[in-house]
Amino acid sequence: MKPRALPEDIQLVYADDHDRRRVVRLEEADSIDFGRTVSFRQPPAYRGQRNFPGWWWSATSHSHVVYESWLERHHIVEADRDPKIVLITGQPFELTWPVGKRRMRHTPDLFCRTLDGCGIVTDCRPVDKADEDFRYKCAVTAAACKEIGWEFRAVGDPDPVWAANLRWLSGYRHPRFADQVLEDRLLKALASPQSLADAAGLAGDPIRVMPVLFHLMWRGRLSADLSRPLGNNTVLVVSTDPLETA
């Protein structure tokens, strides 16, 4: 079931920095500063549950982002590595609209703000679990986002090898892994393509160099084929189109 048009009396509800519920019309929504709000709801945690909620420390916003599944966490990681993203929030708001005598409610999974000020709303659901109810709510959310001027994305499971590699690199996202001296040595060593192990050896003690190398890969200064398992024989090159904009 997909709406032919935006439902009437649709509202957006968010929680301000004092966790007070605020209701706004769609035409007011783009003015919300999601850097000064709290998550609209906290995913429950209980023994025996099948999903895995938690908090992700974001290198983008230097704050924690809530998630209610590993799938959501993956898409937070992808956003955290994207240099065009400047803000990431989880469970950011609720959309509510009337259906007959009751009100339908839907809380999207993620909201991101880009460098140019655009908003991106994301819903995460494995393809085999995207039922008719979810597709309907996504259609309404997409229509609402279009009205506001935001982009809407419905995303599913990533490639498992890509996800595993990105998860590994994310362990080195913190600025503490930066080292200008070793970074310069690595970039010089990789004037021509080298294997990961050889590049680390050329730059110094591999035990010291490897964290810096992975940090450069996270930032996109070094690139490799991440569709294959990351290992000592992975070929690295200096990126001609680094992820970072600075």
Q: How far apart are CA 59 and CA 48, in angstroms?
A: 31
**pLDDT class for 245, splitting at 50, 70, 90?**
very low
Tokens of 235: 């070929």
DSSP annotation of 193 reads -
Measure the CA angle with vertex 52, ends 150 and 227; round to 5°.
70
101 to 12, 97, 98, 106: CA distances (angstroms): 19, 11, 7, 17
Q: Quote the percentage of the chain above a pLDDT of 70.
A: 96
195, amino acid identity: S
Q: DSSP states of 6-23 as a string?
A: PPTT-EEEEEETT--EEE
Per-residue burial over 53-65, b if 16 or more Cβ lie within 10 Å, else e, is beebebbbbeeeb
Instruction: Quick: pLDDT tens for 191-229.
Output: 999 999 999 999 999 999 999 999 999 999 999 999 999
**Residue 147 reports pLDDT greater than 80:** yes
User: Which pLDDT score, from 0 to 100, does residue 128 have?
Assistant: 87
Which domains can be identified in the chain, with CATH numbers?
11-155 (3.40.1350.10), 160-238 (1.10.10)
177, amino acid identity: F
Instruction: Quick: pLDDT tens for 78-137.
Output: 999 999 999 999 999 999 999 988 999 999 999 999 999 999 999 999 988 889 999 999
Q: How far apart are CA 152 and CA 163, in angstroms?
A: 22
**Residue 244 reports pLDDT greater than 80:** no
Instruction: Quick: pLDDT tens for 37-59.
Output: 999 988 877 777 777 899 999 99
3, amino acid identity: P
**Is the pTM of the predicted complex or chain greater than 0.85?**
yes
**Residue 246 reports pLDDT greater than 90:** no
Which residue(s) pair with 38 in the sheet? Answer: 15
Instruction: Quick: pLDDT tens for 148-191.
Output: 999 999 999 999 999 999 999 999 999 999 999 999 999 999 99
Q: DSSP states of 76-113 as a string?
A: HHHHHH-TTEEEEEES--EEEEEETTEEEEE--SEEEE
